[in-house]
Chain A
Amino acid sequence: MLATYLFFGLAMLAVLGALGLILFKHPMNGAMSFVVTLISLAGLYALLSAKLIFAIQLIVYAGAIMSLILFIIMFLNIQEKDLPLDPNRMFYLAGGVVVVAPVAGLLIKIAKTIESEAPELAVGFGDVKEVGQLLFTDWLLPFEIVSILLLVALVGAVVLAGKRGVN
């Protein structure tokens, strides 16, 4: 029971946050709504017994990535006059809803075919230890490759940011 209420509450928050993201004019407001979404998603992960993911979501996503985004937004010092005019926003939104509806319909139809009773959990499901063990045995190669990816991103960011004298 509690789980159901929690679920609906957190789901509501997530959707409201997403709506805020796509509807607010100033990116700062949009970013803040997005943070709300991220935190509610973390709650949902916890409901699904994904302990490590819950923590990582809060730390990495809501913590690091969103901080970075907010920092850049503030750094660029966006004024009212810098924001693009976007007069046809609602029209595009309406059109978008029409176009996206079939996609959503298909996906939901597929989702409905899945057997949906949550089975019994093993002990230690979602624990840090279990995820760690998987990472270093079955998923070792992707793990290493992701680390290389992060290195590449690091170097790329340094190179991109170091460009001087461009106009």
Chain B
Amino acid sequence: MVQNVTYLGFIPLLPLAGSLLVGLLYLYACRGKKGFPEKLYGLLGCTGPILSFFMAVKVYMSLQALPADDRFLHHKAYTWFASGELDVSMGFLADPLGAVMLLFVTFVGSLIHIYSIGYMKGDPRYGKFFAYLNLFLGSMLILVLGDGPVVMFVGWEGVGLCSYLLIGFWSEDKENVVAGNKAFIVNRIGDLGFVLGMGFLFWGIGADGFDYLSLKANAHHLTEPIGLVVCLLLFVGATGKSAQIPLYVWLPDAMAGPTPVSALIHAATMVTAGVYMVARFSFLYAHVPVAGEVVAWIGILTALLAAIFGMYQDDIKKILAYSTVSQLGYMFAGVGVAAYSAGIFHVFTHAFFKALLFLGAGSVIIALHHEQNIWKMGGLKSKLPTTYKTMLIGGLALAGCPPFAGFFSKDEILYSALATGHTSIWLIGVLVAGMTAYYTFRMIFVVFHGKPRDQEAFDHAHESPKVMTIPLVILALGSIFAGFCNLPKLFGGHLRFSHWLAPSLTEHHPHGGVGLELLAVGASVLAFAIGIGIAYRKFTVPVDEPVYRGFNKFGFNKFYVDELYHALIVAPYKFFGKAISRGLEPFIVDAPVQASGWLYKMAGLAFKVFQMGYVRIYAIYMVVGLSVMSLLISQSLN
């Protein structure tokens, strides 16, 4: 039985209303010279997310009160469109999976909104920022709460749009705008896959209702080939949104946006939408193991590739960006080997520590007056103590150090890979874990330890205001304790998280035995230790910006993938476009339009002959007309 609750609709509505209100205020202020005080924007901008968070907690409590196999809250707002067999309504569904996503999206989202109050201080477009950020949160909540693929797609597109708007926020710099365009366009390519997948899904089993519950009930009707096509096409959409191979290229460029944007959109929430989507459609992916294999392999290969790139970057945000791509690869590896709850668990913990790392990086960037190159930083741990401590916690969590959150989630994924027989995936995963530790601590040691490389900037640096550091502390606490939600039996836990998620997912938990679990844990810890050890050896001695040669140079330039895409895809497309616009369009489009205008002009000139200006001639025209009329009437009178 599914309960009907109306307040579900308000959860996305509140941030959207906030966005509208702040946006209107900002537009109104733009007309005059005097603007509204920043505090007003900040207050209005944060109210929506915080209220949504409280409602999310309420949803969670309501779900908890229900019996375990019946945890669904549904709200159908209205029928959006019904044409033929397709009947789509704007509806919201809250089940355990949705509740989990809802909780951390609103929690981390609210914290980042509060952080932005301090980060964006002094920016003339303060109001616009909060309007866009609220719009993003509203769209993300629609995505998470949607009761069917179509409503999810509405949110999917909305977050893509807000990503574009926020990446190009400082639009006077052309590079930011180009990065925004790249993000949107690459996302669109993925979205095409998503739409095609939806189409095939409807064709297959959509006739009896196109929402998750109906689709899940009818999933066994889906034939193998169509199921495979649907899963792969939907995954194409996920590669676009969640930055996997081959559509990951937009995420590092997206770091051109303000850091809270990078934290919220490109670390904690939007990019995890792809993983959420695969988990939502677990009833499809569980039936088509081949699709799962594809997902897992692409995921782990992306993790490897991104980790390699991350080891060479010198922009603090780009390191974190590639780290995000890499961790997303882990998540897809998890859901690919049918360990859906493990993947979602990693989404959950990743939100905390990656948001923390990004916000901490933002704090560093602000302290050094918008310097982002790590080779110009150094020794900041004395100047930015809170930032340093929280980033250290975040780094440990990311690298997978027990007992921080990242260790448990990553370990769960790797163990699932091993237990389902995907040994090569497991091995690559362990290697990537080591690389993760290495690049994370490379960043931390270079930025915070040793001697300052730019003395002047160092002298001016100071710790960020409380409105920025308190979210850091809260997120650090989350990074420490979030892992304990899902302690496996090995450590005395009950896998509470996985059990909570069970009604939403079609999952079979692998049983590999204690030995296999110990092997997985041991390998992870070993990889972490080796990684951090190498980083310690290399970067705690005074070292300057290295010069890269050979393979290192290849890696530093990200394997020239961007250049390859540009040469293979972007340049021919642009050439094609120019060719059509110069060679074809003047003849096919411009010529007929101009010709019709010319035709009317000629007709006008022809008729101009009749208007000589002599009134007598006009009188003659009248008489001629009269006589013609009389002729006609005489004929008819005959």
Q: Which residues of A contact B (CB under 8 A)?
A: 96, 99-103, 105-107, 109
Contacts and interface: CB of A to CB of B under 8 A. Distances in A.
B623 A102 contact: no
Contacts of A101: 627
Interface string B225-252: 0000000000000000000000000000
Given A99-B620, A100-B623, A100-B627, 9 more contacts: A96-B623, A99-B627, A101-B627, A102-B627, A102-B628, A102-B631, A103-B630, A106-B633, A106-B634
B637 interface: yes
Interface in B579-633: 620, 623-624, 626-628, 630-631, 633
Nearest to A92: B620
Contacts of A99: 620, 623-624, 627
Nearest to A99: B627
A107 to B, nearest CB: 8
B315 to A, nearest CB: 82
A25 B504 CA distance: 108
The 9 closest A-B pairs by CB, nearest first: A106-B630, A102-B627, A102-B631, A102-B630, A103-B630, A99-B627, A106-B634, A103-B627, A99-B623
13 contacts: A99-B623, A99-B624, A99-B627, A100-B623, A101-B627, A102-B627, A102-B634, A105-B634, A106-B630, A106-B631, A106-B633, A106-B634, A109-B634
Nearest to A110: B637
Contacts of A96: 623
A106 B634 CA distance: 6
B637 A103 contact: no
A83 B623 CA distance: 25
B616 to A, nearest CB: 9
Contacts of B634: 102, 105-106, 109
A96 B633 CA distance: 20
A153 B630 CA distance: 34
Interface string B348-386: 000000000000000000000000000000000000000
Nearest to A106: B630
B618 to A, nearest CB: 14
A96 B620 CA distance: 8
A105 B635 CA distance: 11
B638 to A, nearest CB: 9
B200 to A, nearest CB: 74
Contacts of B628: 102
Contacts of A102: 627-628, 630-631, 634
A88 to B, nearest CB: 11
Interface string B509-550: 000000000000000000000000000000000000000000
A166 B89 CA distance: 77
B621 to A, nearest CB: 10
A135 to B, nearest CB: 33
A102 B627 CA distance: 6
Contacts of A106: 630-631, 633-634, 637
A96 B627 CA distance: 10
Most chain A CB neighbours (cut-off 10 Å) among B624, B627, B633: B627
Nearest to B633: A106
Contacts of B620: 99
Contacts of B623: 96, 99-100, 103
A60 B624 CA distance: 33
Nearest to B628: A102
Contacts of B626: 103
A107 B631 CA distance: 11
Contacts of B627: 99-103
A83 to B, nearest CB: 16
Interface string B395-438: 00000000000000000000000000000000000000000000
A100 B631 CA distance: 10
Interface string B63-103: 00000000000000000000000000000000000000000
A100 B630 CA distance: 10
B637 A109 contact: yes
Contacts of B633: 106
A145 B272 CA distance: 86
A109 B627 CA distance: 14
A114 to B, nearest CB: 14
A87 to B, nearest CB: 14
Nearest to A95: B620
Contacts of A109: 634, 637
Contacts of A107: 630
Contacts of B630: 102-103, 105-107
A158 to B, nearest CB: 25
B624 to A, nearest CB: 6
A54 B624 CA distance: 34
